């Protein structure tokens, strides 16, 4: 009954349209009242939820990503990817350029929605002019943007670390996401090549050597951000938080003094959008902390573990069931609240079955990322359709091959832990 009151209060608030953060807070208050816990304890947990130094990672990387995504970086990365692919003259070259450009921008922005908007606004019209179906270009942009949820500096990896109570290193999660993200990008490229040869998509075009050198130099300024984030953390020069701060300074310098595409008068609006995003995320984290506290008091994680054990004691069966659960959750609830709600419940279950918390983080991020590409709550899907100027119905009729590829990658990441764990184990020892 304790768990029922908590979950029922949460679901009722969701149904009546209350903002998710407030729904979580109200559910925590209802659960605390039912089990006789002073409401002051809930308020203290809300305060404690955002009183961690690790929280600084979020505003730093959100700001750095926003500056680079809106400051002309996307266009330069697309041009650079076009140079790399053009030498091969592969059929379907522009579709490969789309994936590669997204991979590069993912390592800078950390946001799938930002990647979809920035890359899509450049690549979708360009692909259509070259003879690609607009719906195909939109589907590719939507699904390739999921890479940003995995590779560093993924904002959602930071949220997962915070949802575990800070027990999982952000640096370890960043490293763990590199190979799954690259595997997803590579798998989409293979799919693009198959479709390109089936549908006779046009081949890539080789850029003149002079232009190729200029484009590479131009893009290199932004790509240094990747070196700052990964190189700094791997080399032990600074922590993930400090990497975010340095990335902000470098992004501002490159955008305003090297590229100079962004106007100074637009900076206040960019800062305002960043502050709104950060405020929403931190409010979610604060309220989710109180829910996690009440869940622990009701022994929900232990009861969930007992429930799954009653179904099967086979780790692989449980992993498959958890995947299905997370895929459904990802289509119904946005990613940040899903991470904050599900992690305190499911992580103890997974640890009981011997699953590494870092590995489970990658499983969760990929599952929920696929959910963002599917209605009714798919934010990446909606942004992609808006940028691509196509309807959701048109996209859904043609997106199934991309879903299949993402599901196969999910199965590999789930059942081959070394894909996620090899890099953090060997680099962060």
Predicted TM-score (pTM) of this structure: 0.84
Q: Which conformational region is residue 166 in: left (phi greater than 0), alpha (psi within -120 to 50 degrees), or beta? A: left
DSSP-assigned letters across all residues of 196-262: HHHHTPPBP-PPPHHHHHHHHHHHHHHHHHHIIIIIHHHTTSS-HHHHHHHHHHHHHHIIIIII--S
Rounded Cα gap, residues 192 and 401, in angstroms:
10
Instruction: For residue 226, give both structure tokens.
Output: 């990747």
Rounded Cα gap, residues 84 and 120, in angstroms:
19
Q: Per-residue pLDDT tens for 146-197? A: 998 998 888 888 889 888 877 888 888 989 999 999 999 999 999 999 998 8
Q: What is the pLDDT of residue 147?
A: 92
DSSP-assigned letters across all residues of 317-382: HHHHHHHHHHHHHHHHS-HHHHHHHHHHHHHHHHHHTT--HHHHHHHHHHHHHHHTTSTTT-HHHH
- The answer to whether residues 9 and 32 touch, using CB atoms and an 8 Å cutoff, is no
User: Would you kindly state where each structural domain of the chain is located, as residue ranges?
Assistant: 1-428
| Torsions phi, psi for 91 (to 5 deg) | -65, 135
Smallest Cα–Cα separation from 323: which of 419, 416, 410, 418? 410
Rounded Cα gap, residues 407 and 175, in angstroms:
22
Q: What is the pLDDT of residue 429?
A: 65
Instruction: For residue 370, give both structure tokens.
Output: 């696929």
Q: What is the pLDDT of residue 60?
A: 83
Q: Per-residue pLDDT tens for 69-85? A: 777 777 788 888 878 77
**Which residues touch 253 (CB under 8 Å, ≥6 apart)?**
none
State the 10-residue block means of pLDDT for the chain, 429 residues long: 76 81 84 82 77 76 79 78 73 86 83 83 85 91 92 86 84 91 94 89 74 82 79 75 84 85 84 83 80 76 74 87 88 82 86 91 93 82 87 88 95 95 82
């Amino acid at each position: 009954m304790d768990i029922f009151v908590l979950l029922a209060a949460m679901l009722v608030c969701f149904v009546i349209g209350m903002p998710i953060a407030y729904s979580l807070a109200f559910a925590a208050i209802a659960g605390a009242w039912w089990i006789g816990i002073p409401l002051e304890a809930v308020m203290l947990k809300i305060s404690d939820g955002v009183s961690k130094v690790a929280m600084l990672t979020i505003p730093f990387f959100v700001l750095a990503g926003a500056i680079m995504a809106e400051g002309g970086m996307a266009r330069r990365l697309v041009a650079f990817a076009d140079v790399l692919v053009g030498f091969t003259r592969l059929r379907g070259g522009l579709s490969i350029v789309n994936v590669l450009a997204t991979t590069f921008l993912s390592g800078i922005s950390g946001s799938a929605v930002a990647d979809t908007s920035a890359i899509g606004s450049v690549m979708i019209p360009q692909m259509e002019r070259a003879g690609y179906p607009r719906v195909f270009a939109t589907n590719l942009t939507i699904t390739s943007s999921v890479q940003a949820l995995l590779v560093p500096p993924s904002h959602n990896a930071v949220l997962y670390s915070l949802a575990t109570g800070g027990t999982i290193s952000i640096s370890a999660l960043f490293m763990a996401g590199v190979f799954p993200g690259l595997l997803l990008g590579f798998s989409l490229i293979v799919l693009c090549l198959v479709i390109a040869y089936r549908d006779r998509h046009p081949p890539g075009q080789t850029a003149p050597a002079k232009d190729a050198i200029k484009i590479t130099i131009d893009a290199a300024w932004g790509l240094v951000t990747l070196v700052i984030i990964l190189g700094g953390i791997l080399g032990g020069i600074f922590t993930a938080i400090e990497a975010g701060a340095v990335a902000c300074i470098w992004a501002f310098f490159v955008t305003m003094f090297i590229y100079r595409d962004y106007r100074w008068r637009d900076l206040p609006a960019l800062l305002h959008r960043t502050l709104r995003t950060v405020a929403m995320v931190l409010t979610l984290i604060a309220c989710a902390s109180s829910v996690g506290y009440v869940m622990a008091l009701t022994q929900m994680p232990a009861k969930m573990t007992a429930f799954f054990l009653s179904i099967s004691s086979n780790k692989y069966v449980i992993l498959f069931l958890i995947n299905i659960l997370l895929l459904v959750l990802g289509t119904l609830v946005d990613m940040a609240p899903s991470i904050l709600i599900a992690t305190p419940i499911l992580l103890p279950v997974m640890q009981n079955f011997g699953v590494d918390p870092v590995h489970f983080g990658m499983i969760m991020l990929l599952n929920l990322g696929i959910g963002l590409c599917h209605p009714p709550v798919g934010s990446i899907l909606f942004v992609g359709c808006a940028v691509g100027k196509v309807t959701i119905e048109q996209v859904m009729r043609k997106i199934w091959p991309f879903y299949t590829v993402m599901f196969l990658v999910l199965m590999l990441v789930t059942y081959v832990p070394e894909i996620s764990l090899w890099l953090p184990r060997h680099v962060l020892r």
